[in-house]
Structure 1
């Protein structure tokens, strides 16, 4: 089996272009053209090269800390927007951790619950990406978390696998807590009191738009009994929140799981069929109408990996998503005036 290729999302790479633009630097002249809209990933090696060129241009430490100041949910793509639908920082971080590989597919992240809060750790199983990559990633995550809560709060601890720089003061000032270097793993520790902070920068308008789009897609499905339609609409929200389970659907309709299963059976349905049908109709609508790549569609449908979505879609339609989309677009062009 081939070794996995480390990579980062193209939306995340745009963060560096935005930083240079704010410095009145011609980013495309220095780094090359922006990744095209249909490109989801950029190889880690390319990202390392970009950061190195900017570091050589500026010639001072702490580049990742400065770049991170401009982070926003859009740099995390669909995952960032999904995080805005969460009620608290802790929920948002769990969402980001679940789907982090769609943004930062380097070393796997592991979340551990501690008495004092949580730690997020990145090992070195796929190598050490280097100080510039690491500090940009960790600082971006912390800055985004602070922005979403509307508070600048200190982290408890940050550990880097990289050697100690000559000047650690910029790192201590940015993170506000204990900063270690030369550690076995890259590690971020956040206090429990910060995890319960509400997201003051949530985007209910965007969330409502996502719901409206999803409901419009479902409306194209042949008419079904009102009860089934209500279950489907609830599933749309649960899918987006990463909770498409029988127990969650039952709770949302004030039923026990057993009662819901019985009522589903009365409609000639099982829960898995209802979930698959809902996901399939959403997937087909997204692929017809939205400028989303397949990895983003997989996330919107609650799949942790694009490969899982591909397998499921092939079971639903007999075609791989890319093949289905190609045929759908071809048919659309044939009927266009």
Structure 2
């Protein structure tokens, strides 16, 4: 039931792009997400992209957004990549640290003949064309920037259906682009691995690697938090979603549970909100579930309370989010 995320620094790219189009991003999307964790839910990113797409109506808008990418948008992963000696070293960092930027489907990197393949499957869901095209294009554009060369992939694959006009994709990537494929894939000439990077700095890279490793440890899955979420998922539909009920399920006192959660950098309220958000995403993907029933399953006293909470989490109403998820041509339903 783990929720999927992107880095909030990556989301900043969209706000900067809208400014170049003369659009007040905060008026359209709300304040730039800046949670203490540095992450925002994938579902929120999907909604932000869809709003920008609806407002501007530009074909292949994800490619245009990606044009402004810089290391700062990938956070420590981007800065570490920039200070590597070669593109091969930078891609090794991407493979190891991708979860700090985007933790949906992990990237698999392998050589095949004279090509290097970077592939993202669909085992943890299909985020949709807007998410996929922005992500792949951002990676290509960032590689071009840190190498200071107009790199051209050999081929690009997307899992989503083909748009009516793929001209913008061919122009951006400079190679064949195929849609409706089993996995999202970026193929690069193997020779690119030896390309030197312009701002290599071994001493700084060592510090950035240490920082990234520290972030990975912090993101390590907590057995306590997992147990709490599983218990809450059972308790909430019964209207038993307070800390006393949860502590009883885990054979602890409320005071002890709160202390253990604080040691994990969490709290009961944060845990409750996170669990409700994750369950709400799952339930809303089932079009047959009425909002009233979803509210009850999440332990809300009435549907209006659920709607207010959902707006607070994602900046949109539950029904609008469901319509986006199930009807948008750019976003396939998530396989949860």
Bin for the TM-score computed over the shorter chain: 0.5 to 0.7
Q: Which residue of 1 aligns with 2:70?
A: 72
CA contact under 8 A between 2:84 and 2:200: conserved in structure 1? no
Cα separation, partners in 2 of 1:302 and 1:106, compared to 1, 3 Å: closer
Q: Deviations over 1:157-211 (max 9, x none)?
A: 10000001000010011011111000000011111122211112x264xx76x58
Q: How many residues align?
A: 232
Alignment equivalent of 2:220, drawn from 307, 312, 332? 307
Alignment equivalent of 1:144, drawn from 142, 146, 149? 142
Matched residues in 2 for 1:7 and 1:188: separation?
A: 21
Matched residues in 1 for 2:56 and 2:161: separation?
A: 21
Q: How does 1:246-257 map to 2 (within 5 A)?
A: none
Secondary structure of 1:107's counterpart equals: coil
CA contact under 8 A between 1:117 and 1:195: conserved in structure 2? no
Cα separation, partners in 2 of 1:196 and 1:307, compared to 1, 3 Å: same
The answer for unaligned runs of 5 or more in structure 2 is 225-258, 267-336
Q: How does 1:226-245 map to 2 (within 5 A)?
A: 237=206, 240-241=208-209
The answer for unaligned runs of 5 or more in structure 1 is 212-236, 243-296, 312-318, 327-337
Q: Which residue of 1 aligns with 2:120?
A: 122
1:115 Cα offset (Å): 2.1
Alignment equivalent of 2:32, drawn from 16, 31, 34? 34
Cα separation, partners in 2 of 1:145 and 1:309, compared to 1, 3 Å: farther
CA contact under 8 A between 1:240 and 1:301: conserved in structure 2? no
1:37 Cα offset (Å): 5.9
Secondary structure of 1:99's counterpart equals: helix
Q: Is 2:93 the partner of 1:180?
A: no
Q: Which residue of 1 aligns with 2:240?
A: none
What's the C-alpha RMSD, in Å, of the aligned pairs? 2.7
Which structure has the higher relative contact order (CA within 8 Å, separation 6+)?
A: 2
Q: Which residue of 2 aligns with 1:110?
A: 108
Matched residues in 1 for 2:2 and 2:44: separation?
A: 16
Q: Which residue of 2 aligns with 1:62?
A: 60
Matched residues in 2 for 1:193 and 1:121: separation?
A: 18
Matched residues in 1 for 2:97 and 2:42: separation?
A: 18
CA contact under 8 A between 1:161 and 1:183: conserved in structure 2? yes
Cα separation, partners in 2 of 1:187 and 1:31, compared to 1, 3 Å: same
